[in-house]
Chain A
């Protein structure tokens, strides 16, 4: 809204040229003086968009270190240092464990931080590579002399010249121009070229014709103008800075992880406090109880989880990159999975972004042309004589030409000089007739009248191919109704028939039909000029038009459209089954927008708008029940008059929405409205104008080919092939990673209990410590990382693209059921560890009952003769080694249970047998590295087999759980035990 106010204050387009000259101290003939220009340059700075205030690299890195989990680990590390400090102060020199723990915690945070930073850095590099490094040149008149200088040297008041093909170097007030047309699509999203003339036609600078904007492209014609804004003060610059004002939304996965950290922190403090009280009650000193408290809190932090999540996400990011989605922000991967609304651009994303001939009407029939990208479709019947005439008119009455040296390039991909419709016709005729350049040479052009907005036609006169035939051929194309006015006959099956009422009506119907498809229709006609009246050498005058321009023979209609990409209808269908709404937001005409929407399935077959129903039932629009209309097309003009409640209502009531003729601000409004309705919104865009909406969206998707730098900067993800279908792939991957992360986290959490209980038992029952914290770290950061990452490769259990998007408020990553099942059921199977521990102790001579209460003797450094159950005496070191053996034994038990755990976590509902037991093992040998880890870990084979029954128990129990969940959906069992 600020933008509008800024613009209203500026009246550079309304004042006279003289006023303009005095305001900017310039001259419309000589331009600025060089000395003054350099002064202004010094004052205003160079004419370039400042890159959005890039976050400094160290801030980016610091941000990687300050996530939810990271903070938890920092706190844990600090606690460890404090505990270490206390231990040292008390003279306990053996207590280096806490120091190691603190150091490890910090290195985990830093290493994973580096990882995330690297990922961000890499994608930033990809973006940087898109930037056009060739400096733009501009023709400027200074001191009355034409110079070519770097565009960023331009200043306000400079007199510049632009011509077809140039990028407008700054905001320019047009002083003089000839047939100048500008493509404003990067600013407003309109794909129609806008003509620019010196007259002020509108008080709004955005609408008036005498201002050309920075970064738009001049398509044809020439113009001279005075620069009125440079650099960041241009309209584009202001929009770009608007984007930086839009706050970044938190990604759903960040919210999930925060939620998870809340749970973990809460449980850790709960457990810690409980055992603090217990320890005090048992009679430990306050300081000792305090250390217990800290140790429990630290033991509860899942150190490996951070690495697991980061690795899982970057694996998916890598997989997506192979499918042409570059992810800038790792968390965006998952966001895509929870997307429930996609606001998609039309041009380039849903469509091929090139005008293509879609239909022809001749011989009173509509013929469909092949619009596929690779010309694999069906062609129409080309045997008719009328077609030959029509093709000749279309080939000759065309000023577009191929750029040279493109023989190897397929025709649809060749570069052409000329406007969109002519390009379409040129390619079409090249495909159907062949070698148009040669064909045109055979019919030598005598004179031509280019298209202009008053005539609305274009004509040219040619000599005939046959040197004996001395007639001239006049060919004409233009707006169909204007063409028809000038015709008196019509070509049907090669026969010239008089154009009577009946044919007129047939023409009207065809014209309406094609127009209704959102296509741009052109009419074609020709006439052989009378040899006597116009003999060879007749001086045709294009301005006077001293030749026949009426009573022509109508050949046919050709209509063009920017056709949808071949993969899009499928992709839209997939979105629909996946419960994702696709909303089209475009700057194009409502009719075109609707036609494309219907074509790709955004508006499904049989869906009607309110207007359609009104027309069908022949009742006024107001009487139609809005809920009956599934589809709705809203134009920017209507949107401007709607309140936000009305927009919310419209979005709620009509599942199929198309917004046409929308401005950048309106795109932002639409996104906000969707978010108000609780949707996770993905927005695609390419122009600078899209960047605010891209930023506002939960996930902004920029186009890699067509996208502007501003859009890429604002986006979270970049589609390298600009293809809508890639988004759907992204959604699929996002959903899969959510499922798999859930499995990974469940797996990771499970071992927290067997890691924590030894400590709790140690405190309460005073047995020798069964599991040391270095061992815990080894489990968390070495052996368990690979299996939990391997779960990220797991295939989907069901067709995830047939489910509704998850409701972020109900389907949490870590829900109660998952935590409870992991902690209190599977985790409790850590009895395995105690069985194994007591076995190892008993076999060495320490019976379980003796172990109870043994702690103070066991840990006394000066006692060298502690008696075991057999009466043998042990030194401190011998006991310590026995304790280490216990750590190993406990570790092995945990790992044996974790083998079972990783197997059961492969699925949440299906039986592991249904999913395929070792599928992911085969595809990813990382799984197998687990086994090697174990082999290295210990040679104490005799204690490996003790926990095996527990491993089997875990597996069998989980199979029973899954069976119950599958058999009795919705039952108590399902509710309590499905996570």
Chain B
């Protein structure tokens, strides 16, 4: 019986009498494959066509929907692997990579470069550059954000951004969202940082640069990377002047604005950012 079934299997795969491979002759295979070729070509054509039509309906400068981005996210620099900044003051190599990423990150903010590329805008008001109807007012200009505005944390006076002295700088940025206007009545949004829960007394005094930790209104609105090629994202630097050493400190920074909604509980990074700081010192 087993013999019979094994030869049956072999016949099902290749039947030498009828020249059938898997139950079909060559011409039968040819026909069916041709059928599927045509069928799938047609489907693929239809897919490409609908995609093409869909792409035609898109605006190049502004996405159709922005409902997910009502509250912009926030992010820190340097960010470590999992948003944690841990280093030993005495071990150079433990903070070396932080200063290097900061250097790289800040290089487009060099004063010389900014002066060359961007405008010096009037502060505390939105830098609005409307299109007039169908005529695009492109490319749009951007305002200067000079590295030197970060003062102590600019990496100019202190190459190591305070890491070598146990007074690390952390840069905070607000996510770019096209058309977002983060304040009104000339009041710029500003960042405040604090320790979470029981870590309150470990944090020590903080210093914000630019003063008060503001994102000046002149950097808004953002017009998208196609229209506003040289947009320079404003930054706020926080310097931890006297944080407790050899302990984990959970820090949360958030944006304070009179127009932006507070982020919901579900998104831990909308309108705020949390990270862990640990400074080891022997």
Chain A residues close to B by CB (< 8 Å): 824-825, 828-829, 831, 834-835, 838-839, 842-845, 847-848, 862, 864-865, 867-878, 881-882, 885, 946, 949-950, 953, 972, 976
Of the A-B pairs whose beta carbons lie under 8 Å apart in the complex, a sample of 12, sorted by A's number, is: A835-B47, A835-B54, A842-B58, A843-B65, A862-B79, A862-B82, A865-B175, A867-B176, A875-B269, A877-B266, A877-B268, A972-B31
Q: Does B83 reach chain A (CB closer than 8 Å)?
A: yes
User: In the complex, what distance in Å separates the CA atom of A972 from the CA atom of B79?
Assistant: 64
Known: A835-B54, A872-B177, A877-B266. A843 touches B63 (CB 8 A): yes
Query: With the chains together, A842 CA to B59 CA distance in Å?
Result: 10
| Shortest beta-carbon contacts, A-B, top 5 | A871-B225, A875-B73, A873-B175, A877-B267, A843-B64
Within the complex, the shortest CB–CB distance from B55 to chain A, in Å, comes to 7
Taking A824-B36, A862-B82 as contacts, is the C-beta distance between A872 and B178 under 8 angstroms? yes
A735 CB, nearest partner CB in chain B, Å:
28
Please indicate the chain B residues that have their CB under 8 angstroms from the CB of A828 in the complex: 39-40, 43
Residue of B nearest to A871 (CB): B225
Contact B73 A835 (CB under 8 A): no
Set of chain B residues within 8 Å of A829, measured between Cβ atoms: 43
Contact assessment for A953 and B46 in the assembled complex, using a CB-CB cutoff below 8 Å: yes
Q: Are A876 and B269 in contact (CB under 8 A)?
A: yes
How many Å lie between the Cα of A828 and that of B47 in the bound state? 11
A-facing residues in B213-229 (Cβ within 8 Å)? 222, 224-226
Contacting A at CB under 8 A, from B54-76, are: 54-55, 58, 61-66, 68-69, 72-75
Q: Contacts A848-B51, A872-B176, A875-B175: A862 and B32 contacting too (C-beta < 8 A)? A: no
Q: Is the CB of A864 within 8 A of B74?
A: yes
Chain B residue numbers with a CB within 8 Å of A950 are 46
B81 at the interface (CB under 8 A from A): yes
A220 to B49, CA, bound (A): 90
Binary contact track B25-51/A, C-beta < 8 Å → 1, others 0? 000000110011001100100110011
Q: Which residues of A contact B72 (CB under 8 A)?
A: 873
> Of residues B32, B39, B61, B269, which shows the largest number of chain A Cβ atoms within 10 Å of its Cβ?
B269
Which residue of B36, B66, B231 is within 8 Å of A871 (Cβ)? B231
Query: Do A842 and B54 form a contact, CB below 8 Å, given A862-B83, A875-B175, A876-B269?
Result: yes
CA distance A976 to B273 in the complex (A): 60
Besides the known contacts A834-B47, A871-B176, 10 further A-B residue pairs in the complex with CB atoms under 8 A apart: A828-B39, A829-B43, A835-B50, A838-B51, A870-B178, A871-B222, A872-B224, A877-B268, A877-B269, A885-B68
CA distance A877 to B40 in the complex (A): 37
Contact with A along B72-105 (1 / 0, CB 8 A): 1111000101110000000000000000000000
Across-interface contacts of B268 in A (CB, < 8 A): 877
Q: Which of B39, B54, B62, B270 contacts A870 (CB 8 A)?
A: B62
What DSSP secondary structure best describes chain A's contact surface? helix
CA distance A869 to B83 in the complex (A): 25
A829 to B268, CA, bound (A): 39
A877 to B267, CA, bound (A): 5
Q: Is B140 an interface residue (CB 8 A)?
A: no
State A868–B267 Cα separation when bound (angstroms): 18
In the complex, A839→B56 CA distance in Å?
11
Question: Judging by beta carbons under 8 Å apart, are B68 and A835 in contact?
Answer: no
Q: Which residues of A contact B46 (CB under 8 A)?
A: 831, 949-950, 953
Name the B residues within 8 Å of A831 (CB-CB). 43, 46-47
Is there an interface contact between A871 and B224, defined as CB atoms closer than 8 Å? yes
- How far apart are the CA atoms of A864 and B275 in the complex, in Å? 12
Chain B: residues with CB nearer than 8 A to chain A?
A: 31-32, 35-36, 39-40, 43, 46-47, 50-51, 54-55, 58, 61-66, 68-69, 72-75, 79, 81-83, 173, 175-178, 222, 224-226, 231, 266-270, 273
- A824–B270 Cα distance when bound, in Å, is 44
- Chain A residues contacting B73 (CB-CB under 8 Å) are 864-865, 873-875, 878
A842 with B55: CB separation less than 8 A: yes
Chain B residues near A872 (CB-CB < 8 A)? 63, 66, 69, 175-178, 222, 224
B82 cross-chain contacts in A, Cβ below 8 A: 862
Complex contact B69–A874 (CB within 8 A): yes
Give the distance in Å from the alpha carbon of A872 to the alpha carbon of B231 in the complex: 12
* Complex alpha-carbon distance, A847 and B54, angstroms: 11
Cα distance A824–B177 in the bound complex, in angstroms: 42
Asked if A864 and B51 make an inter-chain contact with CB atoms under 8 angstroms apart, the answer reads: no
CA distance A834 to B50 in the complex (A): 10
CB distance from A947 to the nearest CB of B (A): 9
A730 to B178, CA, bound (A): 68
User: How far is it, in angstroms, between the C-alpha of A929 and the C-alpha of B198 when the chains are bound?
Assistant: 53
A843 contacts B58, C-beta separation under 8 Å: yes
In the assembly, what is the distance between CA of A953 and CA of B45, in Å?
13
B75 near A946 with CB under 8 A, answer no
Which of B51, B225, B270 sits near A877, CB closer than 8 Å? B270
B35's partner among A867, A868, A878, A976 (CB-CB below 8 A) is A976
Find the residue from A839, A842, A878, A946 having the highest chain B CB count within 10 A. Answer: A878
Residues on the B chain within 8 Å of A976, using CB: 32, 35
Contact across chains for A882 and B68 when beta carbons are under 8 A apart = yes
Distance (Å) between the CB of A890 and the closest chain B CB?
Answer: 15
B226 pairs with A870, CB closer than 8 A: yes
Across the interface, name the chain A residue whose C-beta is closest to B36: A824
Q: Which of A834, A864, A868 contacts B269 (CB 8 A)?
A: A864
Do A873 and B177 touch (CB < 8 A)?
yes
Q: How far is the CB of B46 from chain A (nearest CB, A)?
A: 7
Chain B positions within 8 Å of A874 at CB level: 68-69, 73, 175
Contacts of A885 in B (CB 8 A): 68
Distance between Cα atoms of A950 and B43 in the complex (Å): 9
A953: min CB distance to chain B, Å: 7
Residues of the A chain whose Cβ atoms lie less than 8 Å from the Cβ of B81 = 862
Asked whether, in the complex, the Cβ of A875 is within 8 Å of the Cβ of B39, the reply is no
Chain B: minimal CB distance from A765 (Å): 14
CB-CB < 8 A to A862: which residues of B? Answer: 79, 81-83
Q: Specify which chain A residues have a CB less than 8 angstroms from the CB of B79 in the assembled complex.
A: 862
Closest CB of chain B to A691's CB: distance in Å? 32
**How far is A829 from B267 in the complex, measured between Cα atoms in Å?**
36
CA distance A235 to B267 in the complex (A): 79
Q: Which residue of chain B has the shortest Cβ distance to A885 in the bound complex? A: B68
Kindly report which residue of chain A lies nearest to residue B177, judged by CB atoms: A872
CB-defined contacts of A834 to chain B, threshold 8 Å: 47
Q: Nearest Cβ in chain A — how far from B51, in angstroms?
A: 6
- Across the interface, do B173 and A865 meet the contact criterion of CB distance under 8 Å? yes
* Contacting residue for B267 out of A842, A843, A847, A875, CB 8 A: A875
Shortest CB distance B169–A (Å): 19
Cα–Cα distance between A48 and B58 once the two chains are bound (Å)? 84
Chain A residues with CB under 8 Å of B83's CB are: 862
> Are B75 and A865 in contact, CB atoms less than 8 angstroms apart?
yes
Is the beta-carbon distance between A868 and B54 smaller than 8 angstroms?
Answer: no
Q: Could you say which residues of chain A place their CB within 8 Å of the CB of B66?
A: 844-845, 872
| B50 pairs with A825, CB closer than 8 A | no
Contact residues in B for A842 (Cβ distance below 8 Å): 54-55, 58, 64
**Complex Cα distance A865/B225, Å?**
15
For B222, list chain A residues within 8 Å (CB): 871-872
The distance in angstroms between the C-alpha atoms of A871 and B75, with both chains bound, is: 15
Residues of A within 8 A of B54 (CB): 835, 838-839, 842, 946
B31 CB contacts on chain A under 8 angstroms = 972
Least Cβ–Cβ distance between B265 and chain A, in angstroms: 10
Chain A residues, CB < 8 A from B225: 867, 870-871
A953 closest partner in B (C-beta): B46
Q: Does A864 contact B273, Cβ atoms closer than 8 Å?
A: yes
Measured between C-beta atoms, what is the minimum distance from A869 to chain B in Å? Answer: 8
Q: Which residue of B lies closest to A865 (CB)?
A: B75
A396 to chain B, nearest CB (A): 72
* CB contact between B68 and one of A844, A869, A871 (< 8 Å): that residue: A844
Which B residues are CB-close (under 8 A) to A824? 36
Give A975's nearest chain B residue, CB to CB. Answer: B28
Shortest Cβ distance from residue A846 to the other chain B in the assembled complex, whole angstroms: 9
Q: Name the B residues within 8 Å of A953 (CB-CB).
A: 46
Least Cβ–Cβ distance between B241 and chain A, in angstroms: 26
Q: Which residues of A contact B173 (CB under 8 A)?
A: 865
Pairwise interchain contact B32-A864, C-beta atoms closer than 8 A: no
